[in-house]
Amino acid sequence: MNIAETAYLNQIREQLVVRRQNLESALSKHETDQMLHLLQDVDQALAKLNDGNFGVCQNCHESIEVDRVMADPLVTFCLGCMTPGQQRALEHDLRTRCAHADGLAAA
């Protein structure tokens, strides 16, 4: 593993640890199934980081696109293996995020 890759993985790990802390404090006040699921996903991602399996597609075992992993460390499938429904959700998500960014730029 080269230095750039280590730095990138450390960044992901920090993101996940922060997310985990936020989830835990939210869960201590109000517990929902969705949050518990999310906590499991975060724990799984952290376990994969420790095992060196992070960023690998669960279906085809190819590397997931780095920019997608950076945007959301919890992605578990590469673009090619996502279902059409997931792809549509992603497109929608990207569009709303862009719209939001435009709004910020205009303000």
Question: Rule CB under 5 A: which residues touch Zn ion?
Answer: 57, 59-60, 78, 81
**C-beta closer to Zn ion: residue 62 or 93:** 62
CB closer to Zn ion out of 75 and 78:
78
Q: Given the complex with Zn ion, which of 22 and 59 has the nearer CB atom?
A: 59
Tokens representing 25?
């404090």
Q: How far is the CB of 41 from Zn ion (least distance, A)?
A: 18
In angstroms, give the least distance from the CB of 86 to Zn ion.
Answer: 12
With CA atoms as reference, report the closest residue to 75 among 36, 99, 44. Answer: 44
Q: Give the whole-angstrom CA distance, residue 57 versus residue 80.
A: 10
H/E segment holding residue 87: helix 84-106
